[in-house]
Amino acid sequence: MHQIAVIGAGTMGNGIAHVFAQHNYKVNLIDVSAPALEKALGVIQKNLDRQVAKESITAEVKTQTLQNITSFTSIAEGVKNASLVVEAATENSALKLKIFAELDQHAPADAILATNTSSISITRIAAATKRPEKVIGMHFMNPVPVMKLVEIINGYATDKEVTSTIVTLSEKLGKVPCVVNDYPGFIANRILMPMINEAICSLYEGVAGVQEIDTVMKLGMAHPMGPLQLADFIGLDVCLSILQVLHDGFGNPKYAPCPLLVNMVTAGYLGVKTGEGFYKYTAGSKDLVVSSRFK
């Protein structure tokens, strides 16, 4: 692997670009929005500054990492020399299919095309290309520079050599790869999202309050973050989208999203990114304050 292209400059995309660049890979970070690219580079610099302050990297590594990243607003230009493309666009099937059809057209014929999707079928995404054997899931966890896991998902046609290459590459990034097969939600979200949904249902049914539900799971199950706080962190719209994928994919009512979750997303209360979900978030404050809607 000599040239990495990352599609999408949002939270996941800038984190993935950061990790590759820090491990001395040349990275083309691609987004249709120039302001989004500028913001992403600012976030990467801020995160690198934090690493320098903690003495986990040197100032020289920070400088080299930033020099390893080049930004593009054109997919065709950004992927033309890529050995690996990692797509980290919004969790939307139609958008990902469109991007992969474009990647298939412009990326070198031998390039591996990976997606950071957390739930959408790799096999379905691969079918938008003429190289399904070179399409694979590479699901990083948020925040990417910190979290060790990479969930690697084989599509129906993914070549074993491609899987082996991505496993080895993940290890070179200091990550722990776990290979799974392509079924709705894979492993991480197939298990996590029903738990989050059940926590929301427990709140909806009045079994306990927001703080009580999260405290039980933190202190009783040793979770670092309660399921409702985690849902806010992930984004309630993302949680809903993944549950809908599970529900549609399995046709099992146990995956049906809680009506409270549906209402909150419809009303625009999406968690951290909108300033309110199950908790209220104020810029500059680390205090965890339950939303007044649940008091």
Q: Would you state the pLDDT for residue 284?
A: 84
Q: pTM (2 decimals)?
A: 0.92
Amino acid identity at 200: I
Give the pLDDT confidence score for residue 150 in this predicted structure. Answer: 98
Q: What letter would DSSP give residue 147?
A: -
As a whole number, mean pLDDT of residues 53-70 equals 97
Tell me the β-bridge partners of 137: 115, 153
- Kindly list the structural domains of the chain, giving each domain's residue range(s) and its CATH number in brackets, ordered by start: 3-181 (3.40.50.720), 189-290 (1.10.1040.10)
CA separation for the pair 126, 160 (Å, rounded):
15
- Residue 114 CB-half CA count within 13 A: 28
* Nearest-angstrom CA–CA distance, 202 and 218: 16
Q: Is 189 one of the annotated active-site residues of the chain?
A: yes
The mean pLDDT of 185-198, rounded to a whole number, is 97
Which pLDDT belongs to residue 1? 76
pLDDT digits (tens, 9 = 90+) for 218-249: 999 999 999 999 999 999 999 999 999 999 99
- Confidence (pLDDT) at 165: 98
Alpha helices in 127-281 (DSSP H): 160-172, 188-204, 210-215, 221, 227-234, 236-250, 259-267
Residue with tokens 């009512």: 253
Task: Tell me the pLDDT band of 295, cut-offs 50, 70 and 90.
Answer: confident
Average pLDDT over residues 95-120: 97
With bands split at pLDDT 50, 70 and 90, how would you rate the model's confidence at 283? confident
Q: What is the pLDDT of residues 41-58, one digit of tens each?
A: 999 999 999 999 999 999
Is residue 6 over pLDDT 90?
yes
**Burial of 253: CB neighbours in 10 Å, binned 0-12, 13-18, 19+:** exposed
Given 47, 121, 189, 202, the catalytic residue:
189
Which residues are documented as binding site for NAD(+)?
Answer: 8-13, 31, 91, 96, 118, 142, 273
- Give binding residues as ranges: 8-13, 31, 91, 96, 118, 142, 273
Q: Which of 151, 170, 202, 241 is catalytic?
A: 151
CA 43 from chain centre, in angstroms, equals 16
Band (pLDDT 50/70/90 cuts) for residue 10 is: very high
Ramachandran angles phi, psi of 277, nearest 5°: -150, -110
The verdict on whether 118 is a catalytic residue reads yes
Residue 2 has pLDDT above 90, yes or no: no
- Choosing from 68, 83, 118, 241, the catalytic residue is 118
Distance CA 21, CA 18 (A): 5
**DSSP class of residue 257?**
P
What distance in Å separates the CA atoms of residue 61 and residue 83, rounded to the nearest whole number?
Answer: 23
Q: How far apart are CA 152 and CA 170, in angstroms?
A: 9
Mean pLDDT, the chain, whole residue set: 96
Structure-block tokens of residue 62: 């920070």
By the 8 A CB rule, do 114 and 86 touch? yes
Closest to 140 in 3D by CA, of 277, 30, 232, 10: 10
Q: Kindly report the backbone phi and psi dihedral angles of residue 153, in degrees, each rounded to the nearest multiple of 5, phi listed first.
A: -115, 120
- Residue 182 near residue 152, CB atoms below 8 Å: no
